[in-house]
Amino acid sequence: MNSLLATALPFVTEGPSEVSSVTNDASWFLENAWIIPLLPAVSFLLILFFGKRMPKKGAEFGIAAVGIAFVLAVLTGFSWLDHRDNFDGPLAESPSVTADDGHHDDDADHSDDVDHSDEADHSDEEALGVAVIDQDGTSSSDTVVLTVEAEGEGGGEHAYVAVQKSTQWLQSGGIEFNAGILVDGLSVMMLFVVTLISLLVHIYSTDYVSGDRRYTHYFAFLSLFTASMLFFVLSDNILQMIVGWELVGVCSFALIGHWWEEKPNSDAALKAFLTNRVGDVGLLVGMITLFFAAGGGQTFDTLAINNAINQGTVGHTALVVAAAALMAAVMSKSGQFILHTWLPDAMAGPTPVSALIHAATMVVAGIYMVARLYPVFFEGMQIGGSSINLLSTVGAITLVFAGLLAFVQTDIKKVLAYSTVSQLGYMAMALGVGAWTAAVFHLFTHAFFKANLFLGSGSVAHAVHSFDMKKSMGGMKKFMPRTYITFIIGSIALAGLPPLAGFWSKDEILVGTGGWGLFGGTGGNGAYTFHLLMGMVGAALTAAYMTRCIYLTFHGEYRGNDAHDDDHAHADDDDAHAHHGDPHESGPRILWPLYILSGFSILVGFLNLPKGLTGVPDSWQLRFEHFIEPAGASYFPAIAHGAPSWSLAIVSTAIALAGIGGAYWYYFVKVDGLAKQTGQHLTELPNGFVTTNKLARTGHKVLVEKYYLDHLYTGVIAGFTKGPLARATYWVNQNIIDGFINTTGETAVKVGRGVYDKIDQGVIEGVVNGSGKVSDATGEELRHINTGKVQNYAAILFAGAAVLAGAFIIALAL
């Protein structure tokens, strides 16, 4: 382990003792961040009890609560920036745990204060943080302190110190169950993302679902959804994380099935709920394993568990089990192949809910969990120095396979849904190759341009009363120019083209694979060349299917007049303002969230400019990494960072442009040209490659059937369960179980009847009746003797005495 630390960081020097990476002393905003999830939670209750009596039917409660939460999140973010660079207060006692192998933390008696007196002697280096790792992997006084070269001009790095505030919730069996918050760069970033996008979704929804029959109910669960995700990201222990995880799932179930009267909607909600329950089994197994392996059965504290893993006191087998089990939870919640099938079906819910789910809440919960418990995966899957592992490979497969599925979708929301699955694959792959900051940065940038695209698709559907690109859209550019511009911005960002946000985060993931060997390479934590290639393919696919989506939606001729009422499968546009056949631009409450998200899609990529850019001040470089990554913290593994590569950036951009070029040639040149010649509303070439080539036709069929996974789950597994297995179970129940019980009962009745007839009536009753007759006869005889005459009694007494005397004489003679 020490060799890895020495490789990853420039300086490794001897240090006297352990230093914690946690404090309980910070600014008011950091210490009271728990208010942020509390506000939408209170809003949920207010809407439920008083919403229908309010002028805006409860929407004002939700908007006000999330708006205040957003302001507090921004202020908390600024407080964190100051805390990260200027904190010089007391540190909390380092979390101490007992591991399975008997190692203990012997440093509990160390002072809580940190001596910074030696820092003045180092102008070029300063302690970034501390990892307490003994030379033999155990915990003792012989520790190492990690230091790194100072960054910036004239100043060094301060230690990365998280803020933790907790209180005892309950105690059972000697184990304390705490409730608290953990505030660091990761959680502060998520607070900002969740509150901002939720606020925009709330505002957008006031127009989009106006007049809905469950308008108040919708806003109530929107607030609870937001509160649940905020509660989850602030959790300081794994027990709290489980609660937040399940609350997010319950809220998504309610919102996906908002129009539960329509069977496809209720089916989609049930599918999401049940699929996630499969992964939740893995979540529970993984968390229980960590509780006993890393916490010694004594603590649920996330930092204590991570710290124990970093100290090397947790067995590798336990980490493998925990990481594999938690992967099941990630696959279901964050839509990784093969448990992704619920996510596209979740488009049955209102479009603003889709935006919130895909951009900032439910589907990123799994990615967040991996990032928060990163030592579990980094050590359990041996990410450092490797070339393949379960997390990275599942992410890479998800990235490409979901991108292929997006090509055959006719529903604009499902194109974006499979795009989300693909981008989540990017994030999982990045975490699997050790590119932690790249994964989190992509989560950050993706939230803005994906919310922009989903809300943009809702704007179009709101106008044409349908989500079907082929039957109800086309030519929307001239009707909705503002929506078109925002959709183009989101698409360019998603495609990863410079200089928009997606380019910077996607390129950082490719750099982090360490698989680029051209012109010097990129470094990283291993040589994940296969994953680099999958990332390149994913970039081309993303650019191509978004070009297709743009053409079918905004270019060509408007095809809505050819649509039929039965094509309007989605009820979320069924309001008095939707005019099918008369498309129009959306109102300001829909457009302004699109403007804001488009601005973020352009700008946020510049928050983590790579190091070494000519003409860019050092203070502008790697700012996101500086404030978000817990580099050197005792609860975070020592990871290496790949060096930026111009050649890789150019090649990846060229590949994305090639994807755009191929799709542009097919749709904008060939299809559009033929449509103008024939006067038909074409969306595909009549004699295209898929039509004429058998292999291509087969591949297209596989994609249309979504790799037959739905058939496997619904037709084979569920069908077998409800059909043959249910019938077999019924037969066994009726013929074996019930037969055994009935036979047992009948036998018992027969035995009972035999006992009654033969023993009870024949023997017992006979003995009892016989005894009675003997007694009666004896009594009759005795009545003859018992006459009441004294001389009869004297004769009997004399006879008895004679008999006794004779007996004594005989006994003495013998």
What is the reported pLDDT for 520? 53
Which has the higher per-residue pLDDT, 413 or 113? 413
Question: How far, in Å, CA of 330 to CA of 427, rounded?
Answer: 11
What H or E segment, with its residue span, contains residue 696?
Answer: helix 694-704
Comparing 316-325, 560-569, 580-589, 791-800, the range with the smallest average pLDDT is 560-569
Tell me the per-residue pLDDT of 455-497, one tens digit each, with 9 for 90 and over: 999 999 988 988 989 888 988 999 999 999 999 999 999 999 9
The mean per-residue pLDDT over the stretch 578-597 comes to 83
Read off the pLDDT band of 114 (50, 70, 90).
Answer: very low
| Residue 622 predicted with pLDDT over 60 | yes
| Residue 518 predicted with pLDDT over 70 | no
Given a contact cutoff of 8 angstroms between Cβ atoms, the answer to whether 480 and 225 are in contact is: no
The mean per-residue pLDDT over the stretch 249-265 comes to 87
Per-residue DSSP letter, 172: E
Tell me the per-residue pLDDT of 129-140, one tens digit each, with 9 for 90 and over: 333 333 333 333
Read off the tokens for 663.
């799709």
Residue 557, helix vs strand vs coil: coil
φ and ψ of 723, to 5 deg = -100, -100
In Å, how far from its chain's centre is CA 714? Answer: 23
Comparing 46-50, 428-432, 469-473, the range with the smallest average pLDDT is 469-473
Question: How far, in Å, CA of 336 to CA of 394, rounded?
Answer: 7
Question: How far, in Å, CA of 160 to CA of 139, rounded?
Answer: 22
φ and ψ of 419, to 5 deg = -65, -40
| Residue 688 predicted with pLDDT over 80 | no
Q: What is the DSSP string of 460-490?
A: HHHHHT--BHHHH-S-TTTT-HHHHHHHHHH
For 98: left if phi > 0, alpha if psi spans -120 to 50, otherwise beta; the answer is beta
What is the reported pLDDT for 785? 60
Question: How far, in Å, CA of 717 to CA of 725, rounded?
Answer: 10
Q: Which amino acid is at 671?
A: V
Comparing 125-134, 216-225, 235-244, 355-364, the range with the smallest average pLDDT is 125-134
Tell me the per-residue pLDDT of 633-645, one tens digit each, with 9 for 90 and over: 889 999 988 888 8
Sign, CA dihedral 429-435-436-438, equals negative
Which has the higher per-residue pLDDT, 403 or 157? 403
Given a contact cutoff of 8 angstroms between Cβ atoms, the answer to whether 227 and 195 are in contact is: no
The mean per-residue pLDDT over the stretch 15-37 comes to 79
Residue 633, helix vs strand vs coil: coil
In Å, how far from its chain's centre is CA 490? Answer: 24
Read off the pLDDT band of 782 (50, 70, 90).
Answer: low
What is the reported pLDDT for 24? 87
Read off the pLDDT band of 10 (50, 70, 90).
Answer: very low
For the chain, the average pLDDT equals 82
The mean per-residue pLDDT over the stretch 396-404 comes to 95
Read off the pLDDT band of 535 (50, 70, 90).
Answer: very high
Sign, CA dihedral 367-370-374-377, equals negative
Read off the pLDDT band of 716 (50, 70, 90).
Answer: confident
Q: Show me where the domains of the chain are located.
A: 387-419+429-573+587-704, 709-813
| Residue 412 predicted with pLDDT over 90 | yes
Highest-pLDDT range among 61-70, 157-166, 665-674: 61-70
What is the reported pLDDT for 449? 95
Identify which of 330, 263, 315, 341 has the alpha carbon closest to the alpha carbon of residue 714. 341
Question: How far is CA 232 from each of CA 34, 80, 121, 247, 450, rounded to the nearest angstrom?
Answer: 11, 19, 42, 9, 21
Question: How far, in Å, CA of 38 to CA of 306, rounded?
Answer: 27
What is the reported pLDDT for 761? 72
Question: How far, in Å, CA of 682 to CA of 78, rounded?
Answer: 52
Question: How far, in Å, CA of 126 to CA of 147, rounded?
Answer: 6
Question: How far, in Å, CA of 43 to CA of 64, rounded?
Answer: 8
| Residue 144 predicted with pLDDT over 50 | no
Maximum separation of any 2 CA atoms in the chain, in Å: 148
Question: How far is CA 271 from each of CA 278, 282, 325, 394, 495, rounded to the nearest angstrom?
Answer: 11, 18, 21, 22, 30
Q: What angle do CA 392, 492, 551 make, to 5 degrees?
A: 110
| Residue 448 predicted with pLDDT over 90 | yes
What is the reported pLDDT for 94? 54
Q: Which amino acid is at 592?
A: W
Per-residue DSSP letter, 132: -
The mean per-residue pLDDT over the stretch 778-805 comes to 70
Highest-pLDDT range among 20-34, 62-76, 741-755: 62-76
Across 766-806, where does the E strand assignment appear? none
On the 0-12 / 13-18 / 19+ scale of CB atoms within 10 A, 580 is: middle
> What percentage of the chain carries pLDDT values higher than 70?
83
In Å, how far from its chain's centre is CA 560? Answer: 38
> What percentage of the chain carries pLDDT values higher than 90?
48
Buried/exposed 344-373: b ≥16 CB within 10 Å, e otherwise: bbbbbbbbbbbbbbbbbbbbbbbbbbbbbb
Read off the pLDDT band of 101 (50, 70, 90).
Answer: very low
Q: Which amino acid is at 115?
A: D
What is the reported pLDDT for 575? 38
The mean per-residue pLDDT over the stretch 105-129 comes to 36
What is the reported pLDDT for 203? 96
What is the reported pLDDT for 321? 95
Which has the higher per-residue pLDDT, 804 or 705? 705
Give pTM, 2 decimals.
Answer: 0.81
